[in-house]
Amino acid sequence: MEKKIYYLLFIAFFALLLPAGHLMGWVSINTISLWGRYFCFAIAALGIDLIWGYTGILSMCQAFFFCLGSYGIAMHMLLKTSGSALPEFMVWNKVESLPFFWVPFQSFGLTLVLCLVIPSLLAFVIGYVLFRSRIKGVYMAIITQALALAMWLLFLRNETGLGGTNGLTDFKTLLGLPLSNTYVKLGLYLMSLLLLCVAYFACYQITHSKFGKVLQAIRDSESRVSFTAYKVMDYKLAVFVVAALLAAIGGMLYAPQTGIITPGRMDVKASVEMVMWVALGGRGKLKGAVAGALLVNFLYSICTSLFPDSWLYILGFLFVITVLFFDKGFVGLMDNLTKRKEPCY
C-alpha cells in the first residue's frame, strides 16, 4: 500500500505541483517543457526495458523508431504551418510539388494512424527477418546498430524529401493551437505525463501477465522455452513491435515540445544512449527505465550548462561505474541500500 502512495505522490507532484508552481510564477515554462520532453524519453525507455530488460534482446535502433514518430507529426505540423505553400526546405531543394508520401500527413487523424502504423510495420518486418533466423545477443545488437546507421544516412540525404541534415523545424501550430502559447506547452506537458502513466500501467500489466512471464523466461533461457513448445519468435516479434510503438509515441510527443526534429536524434549514438538510460536506471524494472530516462536526461541538461568542458567525463564515468558495479542500476542500488537496513531474521 505504501508503494502506491508514492506512485500517487509522484503523479501528483508532476501533474499538480509543477503546473501550479508555474502559475504562481515559481517554475519557468522552460522547466515544464524540459520535464515534458524527459517524459517522452521515458515512454521510449519503457519500450526498451520491455525488450531488453524483460526479454533480453538488445535492440540498438530504438532511436530510429522514436524519430519515425517525430518526423510524422512534424510533417503534419509543417504542412499546417506553411498552408498551401510548400515547406521552406523544399523550395531551396527545388522540389516543385509535394512528394506523394507527404500528402497523407495533411490530415491529423491519418497522421496519428500513420505515426503508429509505420514504425510497427517496420519493426514487424525487421523483427521477422532477424528473429526468423534466430539472430540474437550481440549479433542482434550489431545488426540493429548497422540498421540505425543506414537509416540515419538515408535521412541525411536531401533527395529523400525529409529536410536532410536540417530536418524539419519552424512549426507553429498543432490542431490550430499556437505552440508558442504557454498553456499549449503546459497541455503538451500534461499529455506527456498522462501517456507516460498510461504506458507505465500498460507495461506493468504486460509484465505481470502470462505473456510477460514468457518474455522473462525467454530472457533466462530461450532454448528451454522453445523446448516447451512456445513459439519464441512470436513472443519476441510482439514485444519488438510494442517497443517500437512506445518509442514512436514518445517521438510524437517530443517533436511539438522541442520545435525541431533532425536526423541527429537517430544516429548510432542516440540509440546507445537510450539503452544507457535503462541500464543506468535499472533494467528489468519498469520504474528503473523511467527513473533512468528522467535522471540521465536531467543530468545531461544540467551538466552541459554547469560543466561545459567536462560533462562527457562525468557521464562517461557514470556509465562505466554503473555497468561495472551496479548492474541492476540505480533502482538496484537503492534496493541494496534499503535491504541492508532491514533487520535480519
Binding to other proteins, residues 156-215 (CB under 8 A)? 156-158, 164-167, 169-170, 180
Q: With the CA atoms of 146, 148, 153 and 156 taken in that order, what torsion angle do they form, in degrees rounded to the nearest 10?
A: -170
- Distance separating alpha carbons of residues 160 and 171, to the nearest angstrom: 20
Centre a 10 Å sphere on the Cβ of residue 184 and count the other Cβ atoms it contains.
17
**Phi–psi pair at 177, nearest 5 degrees:** -95, 135
Binding residue (CB under 8 A) for other proteins from 78, 90, 248, 331 = 331
For other proteins, the closer CB: 28 or 106: 28
Q: Which of residues 30-49 bind other proteins (CB under 8 A)?
A: 30-31, 33-35, 37
- Distance separating alpha carbons of residues 146 and 163, to the nearest angstrom: 22
Binding residue (CB under 8 A) for other proteins from 15, 27, 98, 217 = 27
- Distance separating alpha carbons of residues 23 and 182, to the nearest angstrom: 10
Centre a 10 Å sphere on the Cβ of residue 43 and count the other Cβ atoms it contains.
30
Q: How many residues bind other proteins (CB under 8 A)?
A: 102
- Distance separating alpha carbons of residues 231 and 316, to the nearest angstrom: 39
Which range, of 96-104, 198-206, 236-244, 327-335, touches other proteins by CB under 8 A? 327-335
Per CB under 8 A, 21 contacts other proteins: yes
Q: Which of residues 95-124 bind other proteins (CB under 8 A)?
A: none
Per CB under 8 A, 291 contacts other proteins: yes
Per CB under 8 A, 92 contacts other proteins: yes
In the complex, minimum distance from the CB of residue 118 to other proteins, in angstroms, rounded to a whole number:
17
Helix (H) or strand (E) holding 260: strand 260-261
For other proteins, the closer CB: 138 or 344: 138
In the complex, minimum distance from the CB of residue 131 to other proteins, in angstroms, rounded to a whole number:
10
Per CB under 8 A, 305 contacts other proteins: yes
Which range, of 114-122, 205-213, 236-244, 305-313, touches other proteins by CB under 8 A? 305-313
In the complex, minimum distance from the CB of residue 327 to other proteins, in angstroms, rounded to a whole number:
6
Report angle CA 339, 344, 345 to the nearest 5 degrees. 135
Q: Which residue has the cell 534496493?
A: 335
Binding residue (CB under 8 A) for other proteins from 16, 20, 85, 153 = 153
For other proteins, the closer CB: 104 or 141: 141
For other proteins, the closer CB: 88 or 112: 88
> Residues for the chain: how many in total?
345
For other proteins, the closer CB: 206 or 315: 315
- Distance separating alpha carbons of residues 79 and 154, to the nearest angstrom: 22
Q: Which of residues 226-285 bind other proteins (CB under 8 A)?
A: 258-262, 264-265, 268, 272, 275-276, 279
Provide the CB-side half-sphere exposure for 48 (13 A, CA).
37
Binding residue (CB under 8 A) for other proteins from 134, 208, 213, 231 = 134
Phi/psi-derived region of residue 171, left when phi > 0, alpha when psi is between -120 and 50, beta in every other case: beta
Please report how the helices 286-306 and 29-48 are oriented relative to each other, as an axis angle in degrees rounded to 10.
Answer: 140
